[in-house]
Amino acid sequence: MAKFTALLRPENIRQGVICSSKKTALEMVAGILAKQANVDEVECFESLFNREKLGCTALGNGIAMPRARLSQGDKVFAVFLQLNTPIDYEAADKREVDLILAVIIPEQLCQTYTPILVELSEKLKDKTLDKQLRSAQSAEEIWQIFQHFDDHKQENIDSTT
């Protein structure tokens, strides 16, 4: 079972982020992820931006999950942004985005992580989780929400098996 807390680090969570556009959000994400992964920030941004050109990564309901493959690196890194004000993200449902979970994956790990990302994107659509993430007042509170959600969902699975 995929867990947010296995992919995300507490220091990669930002709450109340001021951002004016999709491009600005991707630049911010690239800066954080490049530093964490010790990879080139320009390559990171270009990979995220080029992935968006293939098709918008908005999931609907104000959530986006930009992701990119990188030629360098050996670990997966993620960042979560809770935006202060929603931005136009060219979403199919026309809703502006205010929650972003961005992920970079080294080329050699893509096959392993693609099913995990699909599962996490489905979890992000949970209405209760979305509501809690939007109302969180700190990065620490967001981390605790993800921890609780991961633990609670695992308990539900364990009790049904």
pLDDT in tens, 140-152: 999 999 999 998 8
User: What is the C-alpha radius of gyration for the chain, rounded to an integer number of angstroms?
Assistant: 15
Q: Which residue has the higher pLDDT, 12 or 109?
A: 12
Q: Assess contact for 143 and 15: CB atoms under 8 A.
A: no
What are the Cα distances from residue 11, in Å, to 16, 68, 79, 94?
A: 14, 20, 9, 31
The percentage of residues in the chain with a pLDDT greater than 70, rounded to a whole number, is 94
Phi/psi for 100 (5° steps) reads -130, 125
Query: What's the pTM value of the predicted model, to 2 decimals?
Result: 0.91
pLDDT in tens, 80-114: 999 999 999 999 999 999 999 999 998 888 888 88
Compute the mean pLDDT over every residue in the chain, rounded to the nearest whole number. 90
Q: Which domains does the chain have, with CATH numbers?
A: 4-156 (3.40.930.10)
Q: Give residues with Cβ within 8 angstroms of 12, minimum separation 6.
A: 32, 33, 36, 77, 78, 79, 80
Looking at residues 16-21, what average pLDDT do you find? 96
- The pLDDT, as a whole number, for residue 153 is 64
Looking at residues 4-22, what average pLDDT do you find? 94
